[in-house]
Amino acid sequence: MKGKLNQSDPSIMFKNRIQKSGEAQNEFMNSLMLQAKAMENMFSFGQGFGNYMKFSTFKTTIGSNGRISIPEAEREATGINEGDLIQVIIFPINKKKK
């Protein structure tokens, strides 16, 4: 004769607990794998650029016609030459006083 399962039966409770624990562990491991894959992609992205990953920060002023100058030491350190295409990111520091 089969009756309803007793949900408070310790063996059933233990089995449910193990199953839920396993599901939680799988979710956790999947999230770790996603994070590891994201980190791997980020680092492999940079490796493809070689010398292009060299960068420098310096302060300069805007000259005539909106031009900026890159100091010689910075050009040498980054290996850039006349005619090279570069990426410029601008953070204004201070306005010129009139």
The alpha carbon of 13 is separated from its chain's Cα centroid by a whole number of angstroms, namely 42
Confirm if 78 and 56 have CB atoms less than 8 A apart. Answer: yes
What pLDDT is stored for residue 6 in this prediction?
Answer: 61
Confirm if 90 and 68 have CB atoms less than 8 A apart. Answer: no
The sign one gets for the Cα dihedral 24, 19, 5, 10 is: negative
The string of pLDDT tens digits covering residues 18-62 is: 888 778 788 888 887 888 787 777 666 555 555 556 777 888 888
pTM over 0.85: no
- Give mean pLDDT, residues 56-72: 88
Q: Quickly count: other Cβ atoms within 10 Å of residue 69's Cβ.
A: 12
